[in-house]
Amino acid sequence: MENLATRQSPYRVTRRAALLGTLGTLAVACRPATQPAAPSTPTGAERPKPGGNLVIRWWTGDPPDLDPYLNVTFRAQEFAGFFYSRLLKFDNGPGIDPNAFLPVPDLAESYEPSKDGLTYVFKLRSNAKWQNKPPLNGRPVTADDVVWSFERFMKVSPQRANFSVVKDVKASDARTVVFTLNSTFAPFETTIASPMFWIMPREIIEADGNARTRIVGSGPFIFDRFEKGVQVVAKRNPDYYLTGTPYVDEVDLLIVPEDATAVAALRAKSIDINGLSQTDRNAVAASNPEILMLDYPQNLLFFLYWRVDAPPFNDVRVRQAFSLAIDRDEMIKVLFEGRGDYNNAVPLGLHSWWLDPRSQDMGPSAKYFKRDVPAAKELLAAAGYKDGLKVPMIASLNAYGNTFNQSVELVIKQLKDAGIQADLRPQDYAAYISSTFLGKFDPGTIVWGLETPFQEPHDYLYNMYHPKGVRNHAGVNDPKLTAMLEKQVQTLDRTERKKIIFDIQRYLGEQQYYVIGPIGMVTIARQPWVKNFYYQSDYGRGAEYVPKIWLDGKPR
């Protein structure tokens, strides 16, 4: 296996005591430990101080649905992370990068794969209980709960294809769950840890099917209330299986659409933790040096998509022309204050799997990532559009923040330079996520959107490019590509698998089924009284970094 411990990148972030974004190296384990994940306990004079109210600017808009099985939006998944458990989750702590995605036990206290990779045995924690709310009333979490949850997930979740490799799930006793696979599946542990398969309350679903309003889980926080357009309030779960955590009594997850409003609240000390754009980061650093910041590469895709099974985007020359029209360097400068880099089909955030699209290793397809307006016009002319192209364009404004809104304007301007007129048709986020994002839009339309963070390259590649992928927005069905996707997922040797994933990125660079934009750095700002802050960037972080935080010296 490849040793990544010695790998260095200019975009890797380690932590100093003040978390100021110092660049460094990342150690990545190839096999997660199967010991119980204990809450981090500081050494020396710093000891946890229980109590207090943690305020986080969490969302830019209301969650459209609070049942995480029924809605794939990030707002529903992030919500679930506070209240529901997973068998595994992602580790965080000193020396662990926000994009490391190292699976560790959560509801399971240990797990063991078979030598052939076809069986995984999970042993549940003996002290795991449902929260003390009716109708669960604090009863133990059992293996039958896990089996029932998985069966429901496979019936109702739009993301069920992620577990199509699972042949069978059984409870061998009250605390033991056995997953049997149809074939070897290299990313199985990461998939189980991903914020997707939550252990859900059988009694509530069977009673009225309503996990949208009655929220009872076994996670670190107890649902208190959801005030639309204002906040979600979570209370400490005193019976949480990781004894002693969470440290804070309450978490207020604020819904603040406008960045300026959130930044003002951060400066006024009424928000404890807030994500910042790079423009706001620089301004806050200059005016409020006491506010501490963590910088790391954002793990998601800005991307342009369409239907490739109908004109004009069934012609590879048209797709390549759109990619040549995009000026990624200008986008980095304008959107990210110059602090960013190029994404590929695998984003920069998954750095050990990312192939730099400008590098020599990318081969001939690297040319499609460099802006070349004359070449774009030539390709359009060769495809029969010598006078340019006029297309409808869908984007969901005010759903992802100001940076995304600016990116829409910039893409329209850049396309126009190459003779492509994009007629913007804004779409409400709820409508967008339930229709356009699922590939339900008219052929000949272009869409500018985001692909939300995954923790494994397979999830980006399979979901977006395999005919059975749940996020195959473009309708891609390429037999050569499908064979490559299926081969990588069955390759357990990391070095060999990485070669295949690099080949896939080279091939996709030529095909341009999606035009992938650049990406910027993420900044998470926190007040100096927020202690034991070790951030993780997946959507399950409500059970990862938040329970470990305590407050010391917060103004009353």
Residue 43 belongs to some domain of the structure: no
Instruction: Tell whether 222 is covered by a domain.
Output: yes
Is residue 318 within 8 A of residue 389, CB to CB? The reply is yes
Tens-place pLDDT, residues 356-372: 999 999 999 999 999 99
Between the two ends of the chain, the Cα-to-Cα distance in Å is 52
Among 41-50, 64-73, 294-303, which is the least confidently predicted range?
41-50
Q: 168 lies in a domain?
A: yes
Structure tokens that stand for 499 in this block:
């070669």
Q: What is the CATH number of the domain that holds 341?
A: 3.10.105.10
Report whether pLDDT(16) > 60: no
Structure confidence at residue 556 (pLDDT): 84
Q: How confident is the model at residue 5, as a pLDDT? A: 28
Tell me: pLDDT of 400 over 90.
no
Of 325, 313, 331, nearest in space to 473 by CA = 313
57 pLDDT higher than 90: yes
Proportion of the chain in helix, strand, coil states, percent, rounded to 5:
30, 20, 45
Weakest-pLDDT range from 52-56, 387-391, 520-524? 520-524
Strand 446-451 to 301-305 pairing? antiparallel
Residue 398 · residue 255 · CB < 8 Å: no
| Residue 9 pLDDT exceeds 70 | no
Q: In whole angstroms, give the CA distance from residue 313 to residue 392.
A: 13
Regarding whether 325 and 412 lie in a shared domain, the answer is: yes
391 lies in the same domain as 537: no
pLDDT at 113: 94
Q: What's the residue count for the chain?
A: 556
In a domain, 108, yes or no: yes
Q: Give the mean model confidence (pLDDT) for residues 153-162.
A: 91
Q: In degrees rounded to 5, what are phi and psi of residue 505? A: -65, -35
For residues 475 and 453, the model is more confident at 475
Segment 494-544, tens digit of pLDDT: 999 999 999 999 999 999 999 999 999 989 999 999 999 999 989 899 999
Could you tell me if 201 and 349 lie in one domain? Answer: no
Same domain assignment for residues 357 and 257: no
* Burial classification of residue 329, based on how many CB atoms lie within 10 Å of its CB (0-12 exposed, 13-18 middle, 19 or more buried): middle
Phi, psi (deg, nearest 5) at residue 324: -65, -25
Give the tens place of pLDDT for each residue, 78-130: 889 999 999 999 999 999 989 999 999 999 999 999 998 999 999 999 999 99
331 or 401, which is more confident? Answer: 331
Domain for residue 6, yes or no? no
- pLDDT surpassing 50 at residue 23: no
Domain match, 204 and 102 both: yes
Please check the confidence at residue 460 and state whether its pLDDT lies above 80: yes
Q: What CATH number is attached to the domain comprising 84?
A: 3.40.190.10
| 202 and 341 assigned to the same domain | no
Query: What is the tens place of the pLDDT at every residue in 261-284?
Result: 999 999 999 999 999 988 899 999
Look at residue 178 and tell me whether its pLDDT is greater than 80.
Answer: yes
pLDDT at 18: 28
Alpha carbons 171 and 291: distance in angstroms, whole number? 48
Listed in sequence order, the DSSP H helices in 399-456 are 402-417, 429-434
Query: What is the domain extent for residue 400?
Result: 301-520
Q: What is the mean pLDDT of residues 400-422?
A: 95
Question: Cα separation of 381 and 354, whole Å?
Answer: 33
- Does residue 544 form part of some domain? yes
If you average pLDDT over residues 158-175, what whole number do you get? 94
Q: Judge if 92 and 231 occupy the same domain.
A: yes
- What is the average pLDDT value for the chain, to the nearest integer? 89
> Are 503 and 537 members of one domain?
no
Number of domains in the chain: 2
**Which band of pLDDT confidence, cut at 50, 70 and 90, is reported for residue 252?**
very high
Q: Is residue 267 part of a domain?
A: yes
341 with 389, same domain? yes
Tell whether 281 is covered by a domain: no
* CA gap 468, 479 in Å, rounded: 12
- Residues 442-456 have a mean pLDDT of 93
- The span from the CA of 103 to the CA of 190, in Å, is 6
**C-beta atoms surrounding 282 within 10 Å:** 14
Beta carbons within 8 Å of 163's beta carbon, 6+ residues apart = 150, 153, 154, 191, 197
Of the listed ranges 203-212, 213-222, 250-259, the least confidently predicted one is 203-212
Collect all residues with Cβ–Cβ distance below 8 Å to 209 and sequence separation of at least 6: none
- Band of residue 65 on the pLDDT scale cut at 50, 70, 90: confident
Percent of the chain with pLDDT over 70: 92
Q: Output the pLDDT for position 17.
A: 26
For residues 441 and 512, membership in a common domain is answered with yes
Give residue 465's identity as a one-letter amino acid code.
Y
Query: Is 336 in the same domain as 417?
Result: yes
What is residue 35's predicted lDDT score, i.e. its pLDDT? 36
> Is residue 215 domain-shared with residue 325, that is, in the same domain?
no
